[in-house]
Amino acid sequence: MLVTAAPSPHVQRFAELTSDELRDRLREALELYVMAMRYPKGTAEQRAPMWLAHMLRPGWRCVAAIDDSERMIGIAYGYDGAAGQWWHEQVRRGITDHLGQGEANLWLENYFELTELHVRPDSQGRGAGEELVRQLVSRASNRRVLLSTPEGPSRAWRLYRRLEFVDVLRNYRFAGDPRPFGVLGRELPLVTQEPHSR
């Protein structure tokens, strides 16, 4: 018997989701997140309250990649970073400790936090992640965009370098997570370009 791999889902369209639309599809989005990050299954339930809280933040936006069966195969969201937010305060401390208060003030003034970016493993490497980032920040009025991603070679790192993100902080450990992270940033807007050939 001939066994062939199931075809990988292809993006049919990109859609900006309202908070209500993401709430309606939250289980699907979190399952995608767990699959993309290779986290244990129980992680989705732990993350749901945080994602719901993020939807209430100023400047929150979400973009999803949808296949021809109306399944979500990629998601990205973020919001305006601000003092008092957990990630903001963690990154401020790290930049201040390593580079000084002036550098922290520079990076953390008027920025969009790219909080989540995930693409199903069987759909990665085809430009969906790049297009999600581009669409997510396309209407951001902030001066810059910041994100954090686990250290180590990955498709995510290749994507962020291709989009000309630079190092803000490397090998940083957030409270409660033993993994080292890189904090990356770049000025906005992203320059529009032809889709990356694969």
Q: What is the pLDDT of residue 11?
A: 85
Q: What residue segments make up the domains of the chain, in order of their start? A: 11-187
Mean pLDDT, residues 187-197: 70
**What is the reported pLDDT for 194?**
53
Q: Which CATH number describes the domain made up of 11-187?
A: 3.40.630.30
CB 116, CB 64: distance < 8 Å = no
Q: Note if 79 is an active site residue.
A: no
Band (pLDDT 50/70/90 cuts) for residue 42 is: confident
Catalytic annotation, pick one of 33, 77, 79, 160: 160
pLDDT of residue 1: 41
Q: For position 5, what pLDDT does the model report?
A: 41
Give the model's pLDDT for residue 41. Answer: 81
pLDDT over 90, % of the chain:
83
Task: Give residue 137's pLDDT.
Answer: 97
Task: Return the pLDDT at 135.
Answer: 97
CA atoms of 105 and 132, how far apart (whole Å): 28
pLDDT more than 70, % of the chain: 92
183 neighbors 172 (Cβ within 8 angstroms): yes
- The pTM of the full predicted model, rounded to 2 decimals, is 0.90
The pLDDT score that the predictor gives to residue 25 is 98
Residue 49 has pLDDT above 90, yes or no: yes
Angle of helix 43-54 relative to helix 26-37, nearest 10 degrees? Answer: 120
